[in-house]
């Protein structure tokens, strides 16, 4: 019996201080591996395609696409680093040590916060482009966008220390046994995170997109009013309505998907679950991370140039001389 108990420990050589291995049935563990690693692979692949597309084709070097590339970099790191780490913690013991656990938690926060910051910057970019198009080129310049991206990542690094400041001096101080990797967030820090990582960004994004939607509808109606009477009767009205519905659908998807992915995690945190990596919160945490896989679908697949770029990448035509000058628009 003692041999069987030791076999269930992460570190049998430390029977008194070792954590127990997760006891999920192997079919359930296999299903988790297949589903979650598939999502991780899809997230990495889609965001890598965006990065290659925007970096390679010179015509795509625009302020908006610089923001999309920064978002893709952070989302790629979510799929490459954060998701596999969460899968490891849910299905196995943490064999990488306390210091690697500290680094993992530190980088996880940096990456997810940077992704959120990029979404806010993209919202601001689209707001200026649609609501103030005459001044867009003077207000949204390449240098300002690059500076904004750098500030976004710098703020993400600074913000992450709010959560890992205790582990910085003593990694693994909150682990109850060997083979565990926890990130403990006290109530005050969790409250600050709720305000800065959910309430403020959601308020900004929703306010900007509501304004964008209102302007888009107004522009559609203005275009309809300038069409001739014959065109109006034949096709003007249906097209205008279709344009309004499309604008509503696109902007609605952007906001709703963001809320669906982020709200469950913060609901758990607000309810008092301060252990972010606890098994009870792992599922909602993975939904939170899945936003990084949905971002390229929402933001990039709406653009025809992305579909064209993917075709050129998959067929290896980007390896041909002068392919960076290809007309993508």
Measure CA of the first residue to CA of the last residue in the chain; give whole Å.
69
- The whole-angstrom separation of Cα 243 and Cα 241 is 5
Q: Which CATH class is domain 2-325?
A: mainly alpha
Residue 294 CA, distance from chain mean position? 8
DSSP-based three-state secondary structure for 77: helix
CB 277 within 8 A of CB 183: yes
Segments in the chain below pLDDT 70: 1-7, 24, 219-220, 222-252, 266, 268-283, 300
User: What pLDDT shows up at residue 5?
Assistant: 54
User: What pLDDT shows up at residue 4?
Assistant: 44
- The predicted-structure confidence for 86-122, as pLDDT tens digits, reads as follows 888 877 888 888 888 888 888 988 998 898 898 889 8
User: What pLDDT shows up at residue 230?
Assistant: 46
User: What pLDDT shows up at residue 7?
Assistant: 58
- The predicted-structure confidence for 236-285, as pLDDT tens digits, reads as follows 444 444 544 454 566 667 777 877 877 777 676 666 544 444 455 566 77
Burial 301-314 (b: 16+ CB within 10 A, else e): eebebbebbbebbe
The residues pairing with 9 across neighbouring beta strands, listed in sequence order, are 20
DSSP-based three-state secondary structure for 9: strand
User: What pLDDT shows up at residue 232?
Assistant: 47
User: What pLDDT shows up at residue 282?
Assistant: 65
In the chain the beta strands, taken as DSSP E runs, fall at none
* Six-digit token string for 144: 């300002």
Record the pTM: 0.83
User: What pLDDT shows up at residue 177?
Assistant: 80
Q: CB atoms < 10 A from the CB of 91, how many?
A: 17
User: What pLDDT shows up at residue 29?
Assistant: 77
CB 255 within 8 A of CB 205: yes
Q: What are the residue boundaries of the structural domains of the chain, listed by start?
A: 2-325
User: What pLDDT shows up at residue 297?
Assistant: 81
């Amino acid at each position: 019996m003692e041999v069987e108990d030791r076999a269930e420990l992460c570190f049998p050589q430390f029977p008194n201080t070792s954590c127990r291995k997760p006891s999920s049935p192997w079919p359930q563990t296999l299903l988790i591996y297949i589903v979650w690693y598939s999502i991780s692979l899809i997230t990495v692949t889609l965001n890598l395609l965006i990065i290659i597309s925007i970096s390679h084709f010179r015509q795509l070097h625009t302020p908006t696409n610089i923001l999309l590339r920064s978002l893709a970099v952070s989302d790629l790191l979510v799929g490459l680093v954060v998701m596999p780490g969460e899968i490891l913690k849910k299905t196995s013991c943490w064999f990488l040590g306390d210091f690697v656990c500290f680094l993992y938690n530190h980088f996880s926060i940096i990456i997810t916060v940077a992704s959120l910051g990029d979404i806010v910057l993209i919202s601001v970019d689209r707001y200026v482009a649609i609501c103030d198009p005459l001044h867009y080129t003077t207000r949204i310049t390449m240098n300002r966008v690059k500076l904004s991206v750098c500030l976004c990542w710098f703020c993400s690094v600074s913000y992450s220390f709010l959560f890992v400041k205790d582990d910085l001096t003593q990694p693994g101080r909150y682990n109850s046994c060997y083979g565990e990797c926890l990130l403990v967030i006290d109530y005050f820090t969790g409250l600050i995170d709720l305000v800065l990582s959910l309430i403020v960004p959601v308020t900004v994004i929703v306010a900007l997109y509501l304004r964008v939607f209102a302007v888009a509808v107004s522009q559609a109606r203005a275009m309809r009013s300038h069409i001739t009477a014959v065109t109006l009767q034949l096709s003007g009205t249906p097209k205008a309505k279709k344009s309004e519905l499309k604008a509503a659908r696109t902007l609605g998807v952007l906001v709703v998907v963001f809320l669906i992915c982020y709200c469950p995690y913060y609901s758990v945190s607000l309810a008092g679950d301060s252990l972010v990596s606890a098994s009870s919160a792992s599922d909602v945490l993975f939904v939170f991370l899945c936003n990084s896989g949905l971002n390229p679908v929402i933001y990039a697949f709406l653009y025809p140039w992305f579909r064209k770029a993917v075709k050129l990448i998959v067929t290896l035509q980007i390896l041909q001389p002068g392919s960076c000058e290809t007309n993508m628009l």
